Amino acid sequence: MKKVQSIRIENLTKSFGSGDSFVSVIDGASFTVNKGELIALVAPSGAGKTTLLMMIGCVVDPTSGQIWLGEEKVYDNHWLTNNSRQIRREKIGFIFQAHYLIPFLNVIENVTLVPQTNKIPTKEANAHAMELLKYFDIADKAYNKPSQLSGGQNQRVAIARALANNPEIILADEPTAALDTERSISVVKMLKKIAAEQNVAIIMVTHDERMLEYCDRVMKIEAKKIVFE
């Protein structure tokens, strides 16, 4: 099967400060992630993993370089789009360590928030949300508020929310951090299945080496560069 790029990064850099306070985090990163791939991103704390994800996700401004999402070049030493929010809303699903659920919305309302923002009919959005909640074994919590759920349950809702808009790209920052080993493996297997069946590119930050065997490739940040195992 022909490989089709979903994410392409060329000579991407990110630094902070100047003079004595200058800090370089990413220096000349270049790589491609193809549709259908689940990539593990591994690096020590403070090496720039989250910063890299947020640059790909059009959240953090790079210092220089180029970013393609699909065939669209979105950054070339400056943003080439005036609406990065729309790109995030339509193309990208985010999963974080903290769940960031909206406390005054119930579970299904949190999951369907982005699809409905994208004008998906409520009935269709709710049906898809329930499928996701059933997979994560929390469909019985669909009408509970986040405060009524455990930390692990809230994280599962957050993962369902990231998948609800059928994104082309998923950026996951320690998505299994709040889950036990069995549930963590289940989540990563699901991400692997979604990547393959729906042709989605997924980059997953993880410190859990047990998850690496389920990924297609392992990407590391070493000396501020990107290398692959």
Residue-range domain boundaries for the chain: 5-15+25-76+83-228
User: Which residues does the chain have with pLDDT short of 50?
Assistant: none
Report the topology of domain 5-15+25-76+83-228: Rossmann fold (3.40.50)
pLDDT, residue 1, reads 60
pLDDT, residue 6, reads 95
Max distance between CA atoms of the chain, in angstroms, equals 56
pLDDT digits (tens, 9 = 90+) for 176-206: 877 788 888 888 888 898 899 888 999 999 9
Instruction: Give the residue among 51, 66, 48 at the shortest CA–CA distance from 12.
Output: 66
Helix segments in the chain, DSSP class H:
49-56, 84-91, 107-117, 122-135, 151-163, 181-198
Instruction: Tell me how far CA of residue 135 lies from CA of 81, 94, 156, in angstroms.
Output: 36, 18, 10
Report d(CA 78, CA 74) in Å as an integer: 8
Q: Is 67 exposed, middle or buried (0-12, 13-18, 19+ CB in 10 A)?
A: buried
Residue whose pair of structure tokens reads 């269709």 in the numeric block: 124
pLDDT, residue 193, reads 87
Confidence (pTM): 0.87
pLDDT, residue 135, reads 83
